[in-house]
Amino acid sequence: MSGSDLEAELLRLIAEYNSLRDTYLFVFSAAIGKPIPAISLEQTDFYVFHDLLSNKKKKSVDVYIETPGGSGETAEEIVRFLHNNFDTVSFIVSGEAKSAGTLIVLSGDEIWMTETGSLGPIDAQVKIGRSVVSAYDYVEWVNEKRKEAETQGTLNPFDATMVAQITPGELSGVYHALKYAEELVVEWLVNYKFRKWDKTETKKESVTLDKKKKRAEEVATELTNHAKWRLHGRSIKIDDLENIGLKIKRVEDDPKLRDLVHRIQIVCRLLFDTTTIFKIFATEDTKIFRQAAPANVPIKIPLMQAQPDVIQIEQKCPQCGTNHKLYAKFNPNPKIDQDLQKQGFNQFPKDNKIKCKCGFETDLAGLRNQIEADTGKPMIL
């Protein structure tokens, strides 16, 4: 299937899902593993959520989510927007929803997961110098060095140099970031996940607000316990979540739902694997795909020609390395096509996409914009 076929199939699957669940499905999926900074959850993602879901008449929304995490502030904005606009908000996890993704999922009235789905430990990611690090790991390291200094009376030169660069404001900010994530989990569990929890399952006792808060605090404590999970990227599965007091709905219990969710996941991953798409936002009638523009593409401009009639381009396939020779012309002269096609060049594609023999599809829209901006002339296609 081509990229266009996969895009159409995704929208068809979303429509089928909506019919099955009588809800409004929003697919938000990131190509976890692609070395692109914007893979992480960021503020522009919230704006897309807002634009695509504002003024919808459905009372409920299901969000299929796959993300490595990112901005906690963005997670908070997304959650508040969803709950302000829909009576019921549910999340579907079949891949990974880590860090800030876990925060978002824990705000759901319902959490649906497949056997392959996973959340992660709760943490805040903070910028220290030029790096983004785990707030928990940072605090743990600082406390470890503090104890070491108290016990031994000194630190080794490397650690002493590192500690000397920490400012009180920076350290305070890290502590607040970590506490912020914990408090959001408690607030959202009480207000959303636990709001219909009226009776205990075994003794059928009434569940008070204090009991809900206590259970929410216990869950937050468990999910921020990195000594238990060991790694920030650790996969926390359905059984792990149920063992700490969360009720999870299993997608596999409904065969039709299971097939739809797995097919949506497969289509998203095929789009990531065979195109330059790295982030998907889709409903049954609207789609927005973020593309990674090709970098460092060799462009040959004829010498002594400030306003060129043609530009030669060499675009390498990111997947197999095949070199695609293209030309973009700005003069309608047909001789340009004849000469360059004899040399093995193909005209810049009208849809801005190259389909390689390996099956990978490269989107050149960004490159076209760059060329037209640099030359000040539109391509003739």
Region 254-264: mean pLDDT is: 97
Average pLDDT over residues 292-307: 61
Judge whether residue 192 has pLDDT over 80.
yes
Across 289-303, 319-333, 343-357, least confident range: 289-303
Contact between residue 324 and residue 346 where contact means Cβ atoms under 8 Å apart: yes
Place of tokens 């700490």: 244
> Could you give the residue ranges of the DSSP H alpha helices within the chain?
3-21, 43-53, 72-85, 100-105, 135-152, 157-164, 168-188, 209-223, 226-229, 238-243, 255-274, 334-342, 365-375
Write down the architecture of domain 3-120+235-291 according to CATH. Alpha-Beta Complex (3.90)
Question: How high does pLDDT run on average in the chain?
Answer: 86
For the segment 247-252, the average pLDDT, to the nearest whole number, is 96
What's the pLDDT band for 171 if we cut at 50, 70, 90?
low
d(CA 65, CA 67) in angstroms, rounded, equals 7
Among 25-34, 81-90, 179-188, the least confident range: 179-188
For residue 157, pLDDT over 90 is answered with no
146-150, 228-232, 258-262: least confident range: 228-232
Beta strand 110-113 with 88-93: parallel, antiparallel or unpaired?
parallel
Bridge partner list, 354: 362
**Residues of CATH 3.90.226 domain(s) within the chain?**
3-120+235-291
Residue 62 clears pLDDT 70, i.e. is over it: yes
Q: Is 320 helix (H, G, I), strand (E, B) or coil?
A: coil
What angle do the packed helices 255-274 and 3-21 form, to 10 degrees? Answer: 160
Query: What pLDDT shows up at residue 311?
Result: 87
